Chains A and B, each alone.
Chain A
Amino acid sequence: MSVDDTGRSERPTQEITVTVNGESVTAEVEPRLKLSDFLRSHLELRTVRVGCEQGVCGACTVEFDGTVAKSCMLYAVQADGREVTTVEALSEDGNLHPIQEAFHEEHALQCGFCTSGFLMATRDLLAENPDPEREEIEGALADNICRCTGYQNIYDAVETAADKLEGE
């Protein structure tokens, strides 16, 4: 897949090749383009949400180079030659991933704007710690803000997801 960036001829660009959700993508980008904007505008990966561009809210959290990172604090050029994973990679053929299922079942989302970030942070936590204590969940999700749910159902969703994944 190749993304062309026309109409900005006067602005210098750089070619990057990034593996996004397992697929290699080559694109011409301005060096200043944030990874979050690249994923959203160029690749139309809508689960990457931008809530603050200050590294606080966590809505743009993706997996970058093997760890979760806030994509608004990275430039797309930094992803050249690296791997990026977004929530789009979680659900296969429209079926929800166990973590997504858990968020649905526990009513762990309301407006949904923060949800992708929580899904990615939860995925990262459970990969490392399949059966986290409440306090460990608190710490693992401290970089993500939810303004709607008050977090109670998110804790439940993480625990439910842990159970589901354990059963797999």
Chain B
Amino acid sequence: MKPAPFEYHRPSSLADALELLADLPDAEPLAGNQSLSILMSNRLASPDHLVDINDLDELSYVEADNGSVAVGALVRHREIERSGTLAQALPVFPEAAGKIAGPVVRNRGTLGGSLGEGDPAGNYPCVAAALEADLELASAGGSRTVSADEFFIATMFTDREEDELITGITVPRDPFPPARTGQTFLAVKEAAQTWPTLSVAGAVRVDDPEDEEPVLEDARVALANAAEVPLRVPGAEGEIEGEPLSEAGLAAAGETAYEAVNPEEELHADETYKRELAREYTKRALTTAHDRAVA
């Protein structure tokens, strides 16, 4: 389990990093290295060049203003997990971060790395899909914004060009006023060290949390490891939006998720089982998010 030879570069600015990515053939950005190193050790990936972006402090930010929340690509899972800003503005992020492996992995792993890997089982891709986040991509030629919906194309395959770097994501705050919003991230995991069998990011906004039967104005459900991309399930959201939460609405949302997923079978999860999990966890996530919205 030793990687093939490569050349190592450690730029100290984003501009330098982008230049290297533009100039070097077959280069990969190196961030937390919690996934890439495994691929390289097994020689499933053998890039000729690694561009270490760990010194790019400019990608290490968590900022929230009235309009949006912006998180830099180099922010570590551990920082997201502990970010007071995110806990207040988008609590699903810290919750999702805290469910990645253990603290030692979380010390190194980064937001950008996890998004860029394009693993449909990943926590952040699922959260990004649910929140309709925009990914910021930069290259020597300029920068662009891609919605999460368009970024994830297939398993381990994204819209990122080889010379591009994910610099961060932006999430609009408008749909998630903290006082009327509940969010959650639930994961079914056999063990801390492995990927979830299935996980779900959920968010619910109600019209009036003080009301006895508040109406759900907006609901979000996205499932991880349930298809070849992080799977937003608008049909399930539609089943409960526009009315107060009901058993019937939840059941219908669950059934929609059951039908919507297209899961890969795994050693300890056949297709039917994953569908059942999608159904059950969709209901649980929406219930939890709702309960938090009205709490």
Residues of chain A within 8 A (CB-CB) of B140 are none
Known contacts A31-B50, A78-B54; A143 and B5 CB within 8 A of each other: no
Known contacts A73-B33, A74-B33, A142-B192; A55 and B105 CB within 8 A of each other: yes
> Once the chains bind, are B33 and A32 in contact (CB under 8 Å)?
no
**Whole-angstrom distance between the alpha carbons of A145 and B5 in the complex?**
30
Residues of chain A within 8 A (CB-CB) of B193 are 56, 142-143, 145
Most A C-beta atoms less than 10 A away, residue of B6, B10, B30, B104: B104
- Size band of the interface chain A makes with B: 20 to 34
B3 CB contact (under 8 Å) in A32, A55, A58, A70: A32
Task: Please report the number of residue pairs spanning A and B whose Cβ atoms sit closer than 8 angstroms.
Answer: 87
B108 CB contact (under 8 Å) in A34, A56, A73, A141: A73
> Once the chains bind, are B104 and A34 in contact (CB under 8 Å)?
no
Instruction: Name B35's closest neighbour in chain A (CB-CB).
Output: A55
Residue B251, interface by CB 8 Å: no
> Once the chains bind, are B102 and A11 in contact (CB under 8 Å)?
no
| Residues of B in contact with A (beta carbons under 8 Å apart) | 1-8, 10, 30, 32-34, 37-38, 41, 50, 52, 54, 78, 101-105, 107-108, 192-193
> Once the chains bind, are B102 and A31 in contact (CB under 8 Å)?
no
Segment of A18-26, A61-69, A92-100 engaged in the interface with chain B: A61-69
What's the least CB distance linking A115 to chain B, in Å? Answer: 15
Residue A14, interface by CB 8 Å: yes
What's the least CB distance linking B17 to chain A, in Å? Answer: 15
| Residues of A in contact with B (beta carbons under 8 Å apart) | 11-12, 14, 30-32, 34, 53-56, 58, 61, 67-70, 72-75, 77-78, 80, 121, 124, 139-145
> Once the chains bind, are A31 and B8 in contact (CB under 8 Å)?
yes
> Once the chains bind, are A32 and B4 in contact (CB under 8 Å)?
yes
**Whole-angstrom distance between the alpha carbons of A70 and B54 in the complex?**
16
B104 CB contact (under 8 Å) in A30, A80, A121: A121
Give me 28 A-to-B residue pairs in the complex whose CB atoms sit less than 8 angstroms apart, sorted by A's number.
A12-B5, A31-B5, A31-B7, A31-B50, A55-B34, A55-B38, A55-B101, A55-B105, A58-B102, A58-B104, A67-B107, A68-B103, A69-B108, A72-B37, A73-B33, A74-B33, A74-B37, A75-B50, A77-B52, A121-B104, A141-B102, A142-B102, A142-B103, A143-B101, A143-B103, A143-B105, A144-B104, A145-B193
